[in-house]
Amino acid sequence: MSLAVIHSISLPPGIYGGGEVEALFTNQLDWEAHPYFQGIRGLEVSAHFFIRRDGECVQFVSTLDRAWHAGRSEWEGRGNCNDYSVGIELEGLEGEAFEAAQMQSLVKLLRAVAQIHTLAAVVGHEHVAPGRKADPGPGFDWNSLRDQLAWPAVCIGVDEACKP
């Protein structure tokens, strides 16, 4: 895995703290429990990790295995990001700020992943599927993540510093 892709998710949208995200990623979501779920019924997705608003981190898939989080995607000319990326879902919505506890857990998690895999970049779903996806969105603080990780050889977010 050479890429980490940051996502945001809440189910139903804007509702935090329930078990619906975990149910979705473990194929146990009750499609009848909320009208929104009918629109995503049958969706087959997975992620390696999910970080709740309070910073709790849940793992669904080993980083040695593929998760189905990026969909149609491309990074630096290479397609099918699911094949070489770790998918990390943050509980939240595009445009909203994420909690300090989530960012602390994300930094800890990325450091742990980097002990196993050589990460070349940490980017958003919006960066690997532009025009199709908008998460984690403008509420995500890429500068803070960059500062906290202090990884000069790793592209974090998409800005001029990431360009070769």
For residue 6, the number of C-alpha atoms closer than 13 Å in the C-beta half-sphere is 29
Put the strands of the sheet holding 57-59 in their side by side order.
57-59, 49-51, 85-91, 3-9, 121-124, 155-156
From 32, 76, 89, 94, the catalytic residue? 89
- Is 32 part of the annotated catalytic residue set? no
Residue 64 CA to residue 135 CA, distance in Å, equals 24
The CA–CA distances, whole Å, from 141 to 70, 102, 157 equal 20, 11, 9
Residues serving a catalytic function are 89
